[in-house]
Amino acid sequence: MTDHRSELLMPAGNLRKLKMAILYGADAVYLGTPDMSLRTKSQFSLEDVIEGVEFCHAHGKRAYLTLNLFSHNRDVPKLEEYIDTVRKVKPDGLIIADPGVFQFVKERAPELELHISTQSNVSSWLSVNFWQDQGAKLVVLAREVSFAELTEIREKCPDIKLEAFVHGAMCMTYSGRCLLSNFMSERGANQGNCANSCRWNYKVRMRLKDGTVQELDINEDNADMFEFLLEEGCRPGELMPIEEDGRGSYILNSRDLCIMPKLDEYLRIGVDSLKVEGRGKSEYYAAIVARAYRMAIDDYYDDPENWNPHKYMRELESVGNRGYTLAFHDGRLSNYSHDYEQTEALAQWEYAGVIAEVTKDAFIITVKNKLEAGEVLDFVSPVNRETVLLRAYDFEMTDSGKRVEVVHGSTQSNIRIPFDLFDHENIDDLKERFPPFTVMRKERALTEEQWARIKFDKTVQKLEMAGTRSDKKYEKPRDALASAVEESTTNRRHKTNRVGVEGCCGKGCNGCLIFWQDDMYAKARETLLKRKQGEQLSNAEAKELKDDAPVVLAGE
């Protein structure tokens, strides 16, 4: 194997996100202040930037600072102070888009390594060579570069580092250059303040001859009389339906980029940096996405011939997404890259809480989403691949010691979870595997519309991966989603068959009274006890063993 290893580069929108990304496996992070880095909502002050860089270096990791604004005259006086401040902590690179800013930094701080931002829209080896001649050490390629183009750029530009996006939200137009947000809400997309106008719902209206505007009322009595179609000039005869639900139509909504199914190809050709988008996303996102790609990258280098993306995709599915797409990987986008039915970011799991402190006999947890008696908490270790499940029947408030059955995440409450609740874990090992900043997740109850969206997303992803078009396979789950959207019920259900303190998911959670005591799970317990510590039953095993339970009982 080659000694060259691609780095995992994660976003950092504030100090907590930075620390979580590093602890969960990032080799490097990128960060910046709001006024100079295309993220007006960034929560970094210059002092925070310095602390963040120092944290990275203390952990043997790298920190890149974003200075990728397109400068106006008013920005120039700030540059001098910014450069003189950040150069003191020796960041591992400055990410720049504006040629004037590039030249300014090159002259002002020649010791700093300069990287070219994706905002420069570098899409060819010719442009890469240009920036290399100017002194750049790394070029972030545009999202629109296909894998075939990336391969050619790598071959023709072997002496400069290349960075490619592998995960995160996609812009419906050329990256960062969309004018929709500026025009419709006066929020600059190219200042990191995008209003995501492409995610909005749009409704059809009629303007009558008298100047009045009315909603086009299509109901069950007249729906068969209308069909609205678009025809693109380059595709005569290929008519595309304009479909609209009761809340509008999402004609510009892109799915999220996820290169994980093809990650081995990027690692094989030696892409230097694998970039995840999302400085504005949650700390849970930073932790879980970093963990998934860390495991995938390490496993590829350990055994490239047998590398398989499926288990890492399951991990990424626990983070909110709009459905995943390979986007421009194969060149031209297909209809599988967009979702015209529903724009919500969804996942079957949600952020439950984070370990704030590890005491002598308990975890102190800051609750992030509502917890109820019977919840199964999944502790996701930043240093170990195996998670640990704990079923809680009530919660101890740290401030009062009171035991309650419901805790609301909006109150930022802290709860105490004693180690003695982990009846199948080694306590010393538990403390080591789950330090402060460890995140917990839990199953999320979804509506039928949301479950239909998730099923549709998985179908579309399989079709895109297969590289073949199948209208029948695509239309069936799409129509099911459309029907669920139309019904729009508010009833929610979990994926597993548990309800509150009743029922059991069959995975053998710590503290689950039903699993460890009920005869129904005798065979499941026997199977689980043969596993190494921390290894749980899969969903399929849990279902199979539970389904077998009546037979086992009858035999007794």
Looking at the structure, tell me whether residues 159 and 187 fall in a common domain: no
pLDDT value for 546: 63
Q: Are residues 129 and 191 in the same domain?
A: no
* pTM (predicted TM-score): 0.86
Domain boundary among 188, 219, 241: 241
DSSP tag of 174: S
Within a domain: 323: no
Closest C-alpha among 536, 523, 505 to residue 424: 536
Report the length, in residues, of the chain. 556
57 and 150 inside one domain: yes
pLDDT tens digits, one per residue of 128-161: 999 999 999 999 999 989 999 999 999 999 999 9
> Does one domain contain both 299 and 161?
yes
**Is residue 135 domain-resident?**
yes
Last residue of a domain, one of 316, 336, 361: 316
Query: Which of residues 291, 316, 341 is at a domain's end?
Result: 316
Residue 456 lies in a domain: no
- DSSP assignment letter at 161: E
Burial class, 87, CB count within 10 angstroms (exposed 0-12 / middle 13-18 / buried 19+): middle
Say whether both 188 and 289 belong to one domain.
no
Are 135 and 57 found together in one domain? yes
Nearest one of 85, 134, 138, 76 to 109, comparing CA atoms: 85
pLDDT more than 70, % of the chain: 80
Q: How many percent of the chain have pLDDT more than 90?
A: 54
**CATH number of the domain to which 283 belongs:** 3.20.20.70
Residues 513, 388 share a domain: yes
- Alpha helix positions (H), 353-440: 427-433
CATH number of 376's domain: 2.40.30.10
- Residues 300, 385 share a domain: no
How many structural domains is the chain composed of? 3
In a domain, 460, yes or no: no
* Shared domain check, 290 and 435: no
Any domain includes 477: no
**Whether 440 and 542 share a structural domain:** yes
Under DSSP, the state recorded for 197 is G
- The answer on 374 and 311 residing in a single domain is no
* pLDDT of res. 195: 61
Where in the sequence is the domain holding 233, given as residue range(s)?
180-241
**pLDDT, tens digit (0-9, with 9 covering 90-100), for 45-82:** 878 888 999 999 999 999 999 988 888 898 888 888 88
- Determine phi and psi for 201, rounding to 5 degrees: -90, 145
Is residue 159 situated within a structural domain?
yes
The answer as to whether 118 is a domain residue is: yes
Say if 102 falls within a structural domain.
Answer: yes
Give the pLDDT score at 350. 96
Q: Are residues 422 and 520 in the same domain?
A: yes
